[in-house]
Structure 1
Amino acid sequence: MRLPCEAAVLSRLLPSAGLRGLGRAARALLSLGKPPGGGGVWLLVSTARDRPGTKYQLRENVEQLFTKFVEEGKATIRLKEPAVDICLSKADASLLKAFLSAVKLANHRTNEESLTLSALVPPKASEVEKPKTRMIITSRKDYPLTRNFPYSLEHLQASYCKLARIDMRMLCLRSLRKLDLSHNCIKKLPATVGDLTCLQELNLHNNQLEKFSVALCNSTLRKSLHSLDLSQNKIRALPAQFCQLQELTHLKLDDNELIRLPFKIGLLKQLRFLSAARNKLPFLPDGFAKLSLENLDLFGNPFEQPRPLIPDIQLKIPLTLLEYSARATVNFRIPYGPHVLPSHLCDDLDMSKTCQCGGACLSCFIQTTVTMNLHSVAHTVVLVDNMGGTEAPTLRYFCSLTCYSRFLDRHLQSIR
């Protein structure tokens, strides 16, 4: 039986002699086995610096087991002779429990024959080396084709490797926190990227992506992803569900083909850095005014001139029954879902607009564009154009002629 973990062997005699041990934990492999001549079960503690390791007899030699934090992968084995404490940490909780149970049986000489014992031989160097958490690959020739990525990786960069798709071996790295696949030829993101539950940073700069799928927006990335770089791709639009990635703080969308931003982008409450320069944005969504940013860059977009007095009227009087019921569902926060309504109606409700009065409107509304000073949503604003402007047009929706008339009155008073 073997247990990979971190271990520190502390002598209990040092304090009585006025000495202090360093007590530094090191990557170790603990083995339970019997020596060739017999004599009960022994414990072998091997590290990278001392692969032959140190053997400790267990028969009637365990003074106490400290298991209060075993669920966190921590425990301590206190031996009588020599007077040492073997402090274990960063172990798999289930393996640790089984290992401690075996130690207890070996100590009491109970059912020793039922124990799964290992040979007390020095382990391989790879078994006691500290797990690799970082790998940087910046050329095709260095890309591993015949060997797997270390499962302990937390940061993986594979740039300039001419990857046409995401390697499925990467999607098995459950500890991955940062994935950098910039400067490749990736055209599509598999939905299984959303299975990387620890992923906080995803860099897809300079690829050939055409969309960001709804499946990823509905995945565990909603709670884990903090930074997303989609710059220099071919994305024309992001789905409305993109705003479910509510832990995003950094978002880069430069040099794409974006014709619009998600109209509920204001739901990204944690967003602090937004860059969408050199796209094809004619205006900003209504929800943009709800953002609270530190840095904003929208340079090089062909923003249209605001036309608050020339509205796009899509209002039907009287309203249709569908519009009435949809507005009531949203305004009164009536729960809905595929188990209650057809999926296309759920999608329509998710895409409902918000009037300036706070009410909802679905397909019957008045739409116009107004000027917004970007300093109202961001502390630092990169100039929108070469003329030194920091203003951009934003969409506004009105659920009725009454609401639009009130807006016109305020607008006309402000420009007098």
Structure 2
Amino acid sequence: MKLQCEVEVINRMLPTFGMRNRGKGARAVLSIGRQPQCKTGGKSTAVYLMICTLKDKAGSKYKLQENIEQFFMKFVEEGKATVRLKEPAVDVCLSKANANILKTFLSAVRLANQGCDIDTLPLSSLTPAKTSEIEKPRMKMIITSKRDYPLTKNFPYSLEHLQTSYCKLARVDMRMLCLKKLRKLDLSHNHIKKLPATIGDLVCLQELNLHNNHLESFPVALCMSTLQKSLQCLDLSQNKIKALPIQFCLLQELVHLKLDDNELIRFPFKVGLLSKLRFLSAARNKLPFLPASFKKLSLESLDLFGNEFEQANPLVPSIQLTIPLTLLETASRATLNYRIPYGPNSVPAHLCEDLDVAKSCDCGNSCLGCFIQTTVTVNLHHVSHTVVLVDNMGGTEAPILCHFCSLTCYSLFLDKYLQSNR
């Protein structure tokens, strides 16, 4: 049986001679086994604990039977334990081990100490460890050219940061999606056109950089995945994205979002739900206006330079209001306003989709297909502490879309608007 972890062997006699232990663990492989041969040529019955490190690949051996004074296992769930030997007088301190493997390993050590039948023990051959077994797990890998890209061997499973830029990748390598510890994935400056839904299986992923690729959309499946709870930084700049899905606003852990140099014609209309978003840039797109929920954001930095914002004109609304309201509109408004639960089991799927994209009136009520729509100018400093100028004229204002559920609501808004502009 083998265990990979960090080990510190502390000699308990050193303080007697006024000496100190170095106090630092080393990456090691621990094995439980028998000596290949005893001096008489027969099989050895003694069971040993062998510790191999990078400096001592041949390993140091310690007899186990009736040689363990005490086990210290208070922090075994954290991958830590200590085995105190009688002869020599050392403490074998283990850390950074897999908790489940550590428990099994310590059970085998205990059985060996008690002199159990060696045939029942999961023994290993006491042979020198390989360098690959002892080396510290690789946490970071950066590849910036196609010739350095690994084709014949897998990425180290211990990776937490992987960058593969300028490698001309046409798709996401499925081997990357096996890296369950990955926190940062940088695929910038490639030729990726489509993202696989399985990126959502990277449960620890906090940063995803897709700058300068050929993406035309962001998958709904990723918005519905575990990325909802992990993804904090997303860079989709310099792609060909025209719109983000409604479900994008489910990524509520987002803090940094970059959408520069795309072909965006609209933001997700519920973008205001991204309550943790602090840094947003969507420069050089084709945004004509911002959604009403944009006013709910609380940003530290905002960059909307170079968009094709329309001139706001609250006095020229788009009226899509029918009087009296249709039965469908009345029922839909009641469902939303009274917060009546709905789903595909009780309401047809296409109606569920319509309810999910309902507009909100300034009065707080909802409306579906019957509303009055107009745009108003909003100073972006009300949304963000720092604002990059919207245009070359030094402006920091942008048009925001507003909806009204009735003529009464629109009239009240119009009265306030006219009074404020007198």
Q: So what's the TM-score if we normalise by structure 2? A: 0.96
Deviation at 1:81, TM superposition (A): 1.6
Partner of residue 122, structure 1: 128
Partner of residue 41, structure 2: none
1:251 correspondence with 2:257: yes
Q: Which moved more, 1:56-65 or 1:245-254?
A: 56-65
Deviations 1:21-53 (A, max 9, x none): 222122110000001221421001111122112
The residue correspondences of 1:223-302 to structure 2 (distance < 5 A) are 223-302=229-308
Deviation at 1:345, TM superposition (A): 2.0
From 387, 399, 417, give the equivalent of 1:411. Answer: 417
Q: Secondary structure of the residue that 1:366 maps to in structure 2?
A: strand
Partners of 1:20 and 1:323 lie apart in 2 by 80
Letter in 2 for 1:19: M
Letter in 2 for 1:202: L
Q: Judging changes above 3 Å, is the alpha-carbon distance between structure 1 residues 25 and 329 closer, same or farther for their aligned structure 2 residues?
A: farther
1:400 correspondence with 2:406: yes
Deviation at 1:328, TM superposition (A): 2.2
The residue correspondences of 1:74-223 to structure 2 (distance < 5 A) are 74-223=80-229
The CA RMSD measured in Å over matched residues stands at 1.2
Partner of residue 31, structure 1: 31
Q: Judging changes above 3 Å, is the alpha-carbon distance between structure 1 residues 283 and 127 closer, same or farther for their aligned structure 2 residues?
A: same
Q: Which moved more, 1:328-337 or 1:159-168?
A: 328-337
Q: Which moved more, 1:272-281 or 1:38-47?
A: 38-47
Deviation at 1:346, TM superposition (A): 1.9
Partners of 2:306 and 2:130 lie apart in 1 by 57
Partner of residue 366, structure 1: 372
Letter in 1 for 2:109: V
1:5 correspondence with 2:5: yes
Q: Secondary structure of the residue that 1:186 maps to in structure 2?
A: coil
Deviation at 1:374, TM superposition (A): 0.5
Deviations 1:176-204 (A, max 9, x none): 11100001000000000000000000000
Deviations 1:346-384 (A, max 9, x none): 222211111111111122111110000001111111100
Partners of 1:270 and 1:15 lie apart in 2 by 53
CA contact (8 A) 2:45 2:118 kept: no
CA contact (8 A) 1:9 1:23 kept: no
Q: Secondary structure of the residue that 1:411 maps to in structure 2?
A: helix
Letter in 1 for 2:263: E
Q: Secondary structure of the residue that 2:108 maps to in structure 1?
A: helix
Deviations 1:79-103 (A, max 9, x none): 1222222121221222111111100
Letter in 2 for 1:197: V
Q: Which moved more, 1:283-292 or 1:317-326?
A: 317-326
CA contact (8 A) 2:304 2:389 kept: yes
Q: So what's the TM-score if we normalise by structure 1? A: 0.98
Deviation at 1:17, TM superposition (A): 4.1
CA contact (8 A) 1:375 1:390 kept: yes
CA contact (8 A) 2:189 2:212 kept: yes
Partner of residue 341, structure 1: 347
4+ runs deviating over 3 angstroms? 14-19
Partners of 2:135 and 2:221 lie apart in 1 by 38
Q: Identity of paired residues, percent? A: 71
Deviations 1:258-312 (A, max 9, x none): 0000111011111111000000000001111011111110000010000101111
Partners of 1:402 and 1:151 lie apart in 2 by 62
1:64 correspondence with 2:64: no
CA contact (8 A) 1:188 1:211 kept: yes
Partners of 2:29 and 2:335 lie apart in 1 by 60
CA contact (8 A) 1:182 1:203 kept: yes
Partners of 1:41 and 1:341 lie apart in 2 by 69
Partners of 2:398 and 2:263 lie apart in 1 by 18
Gaps of 5+ in 1: none
Gaps of 5+ in 2: 39-43
Number of matched residues?
Answer: 416
Partners of 2:370 and 2:16 lie apart in 1 by 84
Q: Secondary structure of the residue that 1:116 maps to in structure 2?
A: coil
Partners of 2:387 and 2:160 lie apart in 1 by 33
Deviation at 1:3, TM superposition (A): 0.6
Q: Judging changes above 3 Å, is the alpha-carbon distance between structure 1 residues 317 and 182 closer, same or farther for their aligned structure 2 residues?
A: same
CA contact (8 A) 1:229 1:253 kept: yes
Partner of residue 20, structure 2: 20
